[in-house]
Structure 1
């Protein structure tokens, strides 16, 4: 529980004895910051308001300003004045709802121009303001996926340019990574290769709500069992052929030597 809110309730009976400047009202935007919105969809921001028993909300205002830029000017999107807190948006696609302890801003047809800083301001019955801000950005698709290798550490590293909330996965020869091939890091961006030697095709796939992109690292072709068998057969045939040629040469030489000896012996007998 918020400490300020707790103290307000505990010391409420003493409020009449304290200065009028003391107030316990607070506001908190529930959305986790920053908020990413897909273009064309709706931006919804919710705020929770806390106030003591003697406090009363007299006005709620939602405003917008660019996140960056030198000429950033805050623009009122909707104002909810008076006890009824009836809200009026400044644009047709802006809607604000108010409850006893909360307010919701909705912008339909979100576009890149709607990215920026949103501020909700709550005014109490004494005119004191309490504000909170929230950064809103466009949800972007995945761009420019690249895979690089660290040969000394047998690592493949996958990087992505600027996509929102990217998710990484790996494929080896178009199939899921197994422990025999490698191990993926906790964030999915790094693949520790266990296969040796490093060969084949490693593909990194990066995806988010708007689609996916991929890149492939191609190592040397792997020697399959059939290739090794074929290579062994070829080597055996070459050895047999070489052996046959060598045997033929030896036989021919041996025959030539024998013919010379017989010719020599025949000549001696004639003489």
Structure 2
């Protein structure tokens, strides 16, 4: 059933594309995936236009609408004249920070000082003299910093999961006691959000660091304190040496004391024998 629905959807798409070719007009925007723009920077959208020599363009328009789809939020951004004007031509920008151009086979929209209110669905519509038209759309969103990082533990799977609210393009990394996680501590999932802990027992401070182009934020999970490491090798040798020195000193003292009292007793017996 799912395969049949997919085939029907593909067939409908091909039919729409075929209709555009027959009518002689098609347009698509290079930014097919959602585009994220840093606040205060410039947005540039490029639309590729195809039409046959018999179909002359009458108009090219750019618009923006809320991503929610509210019909009353549609805004006209620019209108480009059609006809047989020599290209490129400047389009009429309908907003102070917007300008657009119509070039051979393309139309380019420039928006300066991008702000939160500029987010939405951008569309470009191309209309021919015969009334045929084609429209392309893309989603534009504001690039946002990471927010509200949290770490939770899954005891049954010995893993930690790092979560982040709505930051753009979050990158995850892990620290254990302020050092990068190594294989002796655990393994990080391909997306970086999950840490599978191999260290037994689970102890110490595990910190998740989430970052993007606007900065970073952290969250820490604290387990029981870890036992001091490295109590083998040189440390064990030193401890054993100290213990042996203490035992050896005690044994030497006992032998010396025993020898002293033995000599003292021998001298007392000798003195008694001389007096007799």
TM interval, short-chain normalised: 0.7 to 0.9
2:95 corresponds to 1:91: yes
Residue 142 of structure 1 corresponds to which residue in structure 2? Answer: 146
Unaligned 5+ segments in structure 2 are 1-13, 251-276
Pair 201,47 (structure 1): closer, same or farther in 2 beyond 3 Å: same
Aligned counterparts of 1:171 and 1:73: Cα–Cα separation in 2 = 45
Pair 32,94 (structure 1): closer, same or farther in 2 beyond 3 Å: same
Task: Answer whether contact 2:60 2:82 (CA < 8 A) is retained.
Answer: no
Residues 58-105 of structure 1 show CA distances to partners (whole Å, capped at 9, x for unaligned) of: 321001122226552422111011333541101221011221111111
Residue 46 of structure 1 corresponds to which residue in structure 2? Answer: 46
Equivalenced residue count is 224
Residue 251 of structure 1 corresponds to which residue in structure 2? Answer: none
Residue 10 of structure 2 corresponds to which residue in structure 1? Answer: none
TM score, norm. by length of structure 2: 0.73
Q: Please give the root-mean-square deviation of Cα atoms over the aligned residues, in Å.
A: 2.9
Aligned counterparts of 2:124 and 2:76: Cα–Cα separation in 1 = 10
Aligned counterparts of 2:226 and 2:125: Cα–Cα separation in 1 = 64
Residue 30 of structure 1 corresponds to which residue in structure 2? Answer: 30
- Give the 5 Å matches for 1:9-158: 23-68=23-68, 70=70, 72-83=72-83, 84=85, 85-158=89-162
2:180 corresponds to 1:184: no
TM score, norm. by length of structure 1: 0.74
Unaligned 5+ segments in structure 1 are 9-21, 245-271
Residues 215-237 of structure 1 show CA distances to partners (whole Å, capped at 9, x for unaligned) of: 1111111111467879xx7xx99
2:218 corresponds to 1:223: no
Deviation for aligned residue 1:127: 2.5
Deviation for aligned residue 1:110: 0.7
Deviation for aligned residue 1:52: 2.2
